[in-house]
Amino acid sequence: MPLTLWQHCTLATMQPHARQPYGLVPDGALVVQGTNLQWVGPLAELPEALRAQCHTQHDAGGALITPGLIDCHTHLVYGGDRAAEFEQRLHGAGYEEIARQGGGIASTVRATRQASMQELQASATRRLRQLLAEGVTTLEIKSGYGLALEHERKCLQVARALGTEHAVAVCTSFLGAHALPPEFGGQSDAYMDEVLRMLPVLHAEGLVDAVDAFCERIAFSPAQTARLFEAARALGLPVKLHAEQLSDSAGAQLAAGFGALSCDHLEWLSDEGAAAMAQAGSVAVLLPGAFYFLRETKLPPIDLLRHHGVPLAVSTDCNPGTSPCTSLLLMLNMACTLFRLTPEEALAGVTRHAARALGLNDRGVLAPGLRADFVLWDVSHPAQLAYALGAKPHLQTVFEGQLR
């Protein structure tokens, strides 16, 4: 299989425990074979015999090269928008108040059910292209705006199609336990029964990579969530959880007990929850866009997570109601300015830790044997990716070894 050399670049390999911050390699080089990286390191150390086999050579022109970015928590497929609710919040209405009035997730469910698959795919494609333009090579897409079998299927089918028709890897999460649909008003146990009927059907159709839920006082209880996670475990599916966003429901401990890939949001996370996540190896997915958009004041306990050694991922949480954002670079800045992550922590949060949050061990760092997903940036140092608001430093993306 032919080899391709990328040279005259600075590498931010993001390898853990590297000697240099960011795993920096000045004047570095990458050798690609097929869809994987074969060699990574300083150009001066590239074996001549290997270099001679590189029939294609690219001069990166001094660009910074990072792993492809990974957006590990999105709700990319949905109908309509929630601009009117944005105005309501600015007039003082709270998230829970809007939800109880039939707004919030329920309003997006109505719009999503009314939309055709073609309409959903067209709107999601527009959002996807904005993410791709900033170097995203892998993303997760949740369902959860259909809340009935035919509509959850429709959304998951769109997510699969996006991964087939675009140069991006898509992981799907079944989020049927996102909210109560109107036809199950006040009947959360009955609706959970319906979710448990949906899950094996959608899994059998190859549409589900993981199972998620919203464990919160306005959504589903820990006991109901546990029923869903038991069903996921029986199917061999990993789980993740929207946990501790609005209150401490001990969702993180529950999810950790099922070996969750991640717990997401976590503003009200307790010490016990952080300790449970650390023991389980669960990733904390921080969503600064939602924190900002909802004008929250309760910060996630970053120092507590650091103390317990919980990996920190960062994501857009792209969704119509609480984070209508398609800029992962903006989330890098927000993670630093709002949550006080370092730029290195933030970049690790959209590369190697985001990969871990999706259960993927073949990407997120630049290392031999891993996927050849990487991005060329017009910056001299990786901290600049988190620094400049509105900058557009993206030059090129290589996905599975090929220029996208």
Residue 222: in which H helix or E strand, if any?
helix 222-234
C-alpha pair distances (Å), 180 with each of 105, 143, 183, 197: 9, 14, 8, 15
Q: By residue range, what is the domain housing residue 59?
A: 3-68+365-403
Q: Same domain, yes or no, for 42 and 78? A: no
DSSP 8-state class, residue 319: B
pLDDT in tens, 232-289: 999 999 999 999 999 999 999 999 999 999 999 999 999 999 999 999 999 999 999 9
Look at residue 99 and tell me whether its pLDDT is greater than 80: no
Q: Same domain, yes or no, for 297 and 348? A: yes
Q: Same domain, yes or no, for 338 and 392? A: no
Residue 121: in which H helix or E strand, if any?
helix 117-132
Q: Same domain, yes or no, for 206 and 309? A: yes
Distance CA 363, CA 199 (A): 28
pLDDT in tens, 131-173: 999 999 999 999 999 999 999 999 999 999 999 999 999 999 9
Q: To the nearest 5 percent, what fractions of the chain are helix, strand and coil?
A: 40, 25, 40
| Residue 168 backbone class (left: φ over 0; alpha: ψ -120 to 50; beta: rest) | beta
pLDDT in tens, 192-204: 999 999 999 999 9
C-alpha pair distances (Å), 98 with each of 105, 142, 355, 388: 9, 22, 34, 34
Q: Give just the sign of the alpha carbon dihedral 140, 76, 147, 247.
A: positive
Q: What is the pLDDT of residue 137?
A: 98
What value does the mean pLDDT take over residues 356-379? 98
> With bands split at pLDDT 50, 70 and 90, how would you rate the model's confidence at 300?
very high
> With bands split at pLDDT 50, 70 and 90, how would you rate the model's confidence at 72?
very high
> With bands split at pLDDT 50, 70 and 90, how would you rate the model's confidence at 89?
confident
Q: Which residues of 377-393 are buried (b: 16+ CB within 10 A; e: fewer)?
A: bebeebbebbeeeeeeb
Domain count, the chain: 2
Distance CA 230, CA 222 (A): 12
Q: Same domain, yes or no, for 208 and 303? A: yes
Q: Same domain, yes or no, for 13 and 74? A: no
Beta strands 136-142 and 69-71, pairing class: parallel
What would you report as the CA-atom Rg of the chain, rounded to the nearest whole angstrom? 21
CATH number of the domain at 210, please: 3.20.20.140
Query: pLDDT over 70 for what percent of the chain?
Result: 100
Q: Are 336 and 101 in contact (CB under 8 A)?
A: no
C-alpha pair distances (Å), 64 with each of 29, 31, 51, 133, 150: 11, 16, 21, 16, 45
Q: What is the pLDDT of residue 311?
A: 98
3-state secondary structure of 270: coil
Q: Same domain, yes or no, for 297 and 371? A: no
Q: Same domain, yes or no, for 319 and 380? A: no
CATH number of the domain at 38, please: 2.30.40.10
Q: By C-alpha distance, which of 170, 196, 154, 175 is closest to 239?
A: 175
Distance CA 244, CA 268 (A): 5
Q: What is the pLDDT of residue 1?
A: 83
Look at residue 208 and tell me whether its pLDDT is greater than 90: yes
C-alpha pair distances (Å), 303 with each of 271, 273, 295, 300: 11, 14, 21, 9
At which residue do the structure tokens 């993001």 appear? 14
pTM for the model: 0.97
Look at residue 102 and tell me whether its pLDDT is greater than 80: no
Q: By C-alpha distance, which of 44, 43, 48 is closest to 6?
A: 43
What value does the mean pLDDT take over residues 72-87? 94
Look at residue 100 and tell me whether its pLDDT is greater than 80: no
Q: What is the pLDDT of residue 270?
A: 98
Q: Same domain, yes or no, for 272 and 259? A: yes
Q: Same domain, yes or no, for 25 and 74? A: no
Q: By C-alpha distance, which of 238, 208, 239 is closest to 225?
A: 239
> With bands split at pLDDT 50, 70 and 90, how would you rate the model's confidence at 218?
confident
Q: Are 239 and 211 in contact (CB under 8 A)?
A: yes
User: Which of 321, 338, 357 marks a domain boundary?
Assistant: 357
At which residue do the structure tokens 């140092």 appear? 381
- Among the residue ranges 68-72, 99-103, 125-129, 386-390, the one predicted with the least confidence is 99-103
Look at residue 353 and tell me whether its pLDDT is greater than 90: yes
Q: Same domain, yes or no, for 343 and 394? A: no
Query: pLDDT over 90 for what percent of the chain?
Result: 93
Q: Are 175 and 164 in contact (CB under 8 A)?
A: no
Look at residue 96 and tell me whether its pLDDT is greater than 80: no
Distance CA 101, CA 105 (A): 11
Distance CA 347, CA 285 (A): 13
> With bands split at pLDDT 50, 70 and 90, how would you rate the model's confidence at 98?
confident
What value does the mean pLDDT take over residues 76-92? 91
HSE, side-chain direction, 13 A CA sphere, residue 341 = 30
What value does the mean pLDDT take over residues 365-382? 98
Q: Same domain, yes or no, for 20 and 162? A: no
